[in-house]
């Protein structure tokens, strides 16, 4: 169990496998697509994939894009955002991060990279938009909408993570503990290996803080 001190009267916990896709910022309702970023095509290397347990499968991603800005331009990095469009699971999106320019120019080029698919993606995911640059949650995003291809993921022996705050109601400034457990939803048993886990506390404004990382026991407990 991990010890914390309550910073606010109400505490909620975010607990994630460190092997899961990192949280990224999606364009907000106030943002509009970048008219200078033109996505001509997005291609996925596979249309179906089977992923088991804690494993991941790398799927190639290719984007052909134009960036219509005058003057010298530094090389772009593109990020392809896929939203869940079928099935039910803990993962609502996947991102192919930081595709690099591998042919052509910034003004008209081809970008390649990979999408790392976990078993928790069980279901169908469809390309919805492409963002350029840094995916940091506090940075504004330049993006282009693009109705792209889909990938159907079959996840088996999918991991489930549960977290318990002890005590359940934490007075302001009081210490508390967090107990997490990860198990195989197909067997109801742990995986028998030490799994990296990250824990973060958030307040009512969704400001993540007090990030802690560690590894479970072979029984799946942290």
**pLDDT attached to residue 27:** 57
Same-domain check for residues 147 and 51: yes
- Average pLDDT estimate for 145-172: 88
DSSP character at residue 150: E
Residue 110 within a domain: yes
User: Residue 4 to residues 29, 199, 204: CA-CA distances in angstroms?
Assistant: 35, 10, 17
- Average pLDDT estimate for 162-168: 80
Separation of alpha carbons 34 and 212, rounded Å: 36
Residue 25 within a domain: no
Separation of alpha carbons 18 and 201, rounded Å: 15
Residue 27 within a domain: no
Tokens describing residue 151: 């990938």
Same-domain check for residues 108 and 191: no
Q: What angle do CA 165, 170, 175 make, to 5 degrees?
A: 80
- Average pLDDT estimate for 105-117: 94
- The 3-state DSSP class for residue 96 equals strand
Tokens describing residue 72: 């010298």
Same-domain check for residues 80 and 65: yes
Residue 6 structural domain: 2-19+158-215
Same-domain check for residues 84 and 141: yes
**pLDDT attached to residue 215:** 80
**What is the number of domains present in the chain?**
2
Same-domain check for residues 121 and 45: yes
Separation of alpha carbons 99 and 133, rounded Å: 10
Same-domain check for residues 147 and 167: no
For 191-220, write each residue's pLDDT tens digit: 888 888 776 655 544 444 555 677 878 877
Residue 3 has pLDDT above 60, yes or no: no
**pLDDT attached to residue 62:** 97
Residue 65 has pLDDT above 70, yes or no: yes
136 Cβ partners below 8 Å, 6+ apart? 25
Same-domain check for residues 57 and 143: yes
**pLDDT attached to residue 55:** 92
């Amino acid at each position: 169990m991990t010890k914390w001190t309550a910073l606010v009267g109400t505490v909620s916990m975010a607990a994630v496998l460190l092997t899961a896709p990192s949280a990224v910022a999606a364009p907000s309702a106030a943002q509009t697509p970048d008219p200078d970023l033109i996505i001509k095509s997005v291609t996925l290397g596979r249309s179906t994939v089977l992923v088991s347990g804690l494993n991941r499968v790398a799927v190639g991603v290719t984007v052909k894009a134009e960036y219509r800005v005058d003057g010298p331009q530094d090389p772009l990095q593109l990020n392809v955002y896929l939203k869940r469009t079928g099935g039910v699971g803990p993962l609502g999106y996947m991102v192919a991060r930081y595709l690099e320019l591998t042919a052509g120019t910034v003004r008209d080029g081809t970008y390649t990279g990979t999408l790392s698919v976990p078993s928790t993606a069980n279901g169908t995911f469809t390309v919805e938009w492409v963002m350029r640059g840094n995916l940091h949650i506090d940075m504004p995003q330049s993006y282009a909408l693009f109705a792209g291809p889909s990938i159907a993921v079959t996840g088996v022996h999918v991991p489930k993570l549960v977290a318990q705050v002890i005590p359940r109601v934490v007075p302001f400034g009081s210490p508390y503990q967090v107990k997490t457990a990860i198990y195989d939803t197909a067997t109801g048993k742990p995986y028998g290996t030490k799994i990296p886990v990250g824990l973060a506390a958030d307040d009512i404004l969704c400001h993540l803080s007090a990030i802690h990382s560690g590894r479970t026991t072979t029984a799946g407990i942290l």
